[in-house]
């Protein structure tokens, strides 16, 4: 992977860890922060997946590759 891609993967992993930590907190969990970081993780993963495919010169359009499929695949490729 390219260095920029690795950097974005690290950011997504950080958001994922933060969301999990907030959800596991026993004393005063911050669910708003957990939701925010989960959304950021998902968004970063989708963006990174798109960047990866664009670097391979693939053309993605909503009619040929739905966003839900893109994001699902990004999650399972980078975060699972």
pLDDT digits (tens, 9 = 90+) for 20-55: 999 999 998 899 999 999 999 999 888 887 777 776
Which candidate, 45, 39, 43, 36, places its Cα nearest to that of 10? 45
- The answer for residues whose C-beta is within 8 angstroms of residue 10's C-beta and 6 or more apart is none
Report the pLDDT value the prediction gives residue 71, as an integer from 0 to 100. 64
Report how many domains make up the chain.
1
Give the predicted TM-score (pTM) of the model. Answer: 0.61
* Residue 43 domain boundaries: 3-79
């Amino acid at each position: 992977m390219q260095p920029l891609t690795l950097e974005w993967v690290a950011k997504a992993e950080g958001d994922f860890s933060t969301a999990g930590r907030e959800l596991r907190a026993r004393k005063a969990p911050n669910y708003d922060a957990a939701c925010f970081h989960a959304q950021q993780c998902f968004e970063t993963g989708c963006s990174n997946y798109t960047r990866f495919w664009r670097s391979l010169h693939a053309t993605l359009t909503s009619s040929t590759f739905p966003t839900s499929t893109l994001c699902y695949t990004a999650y399972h490729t980078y975060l699972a």
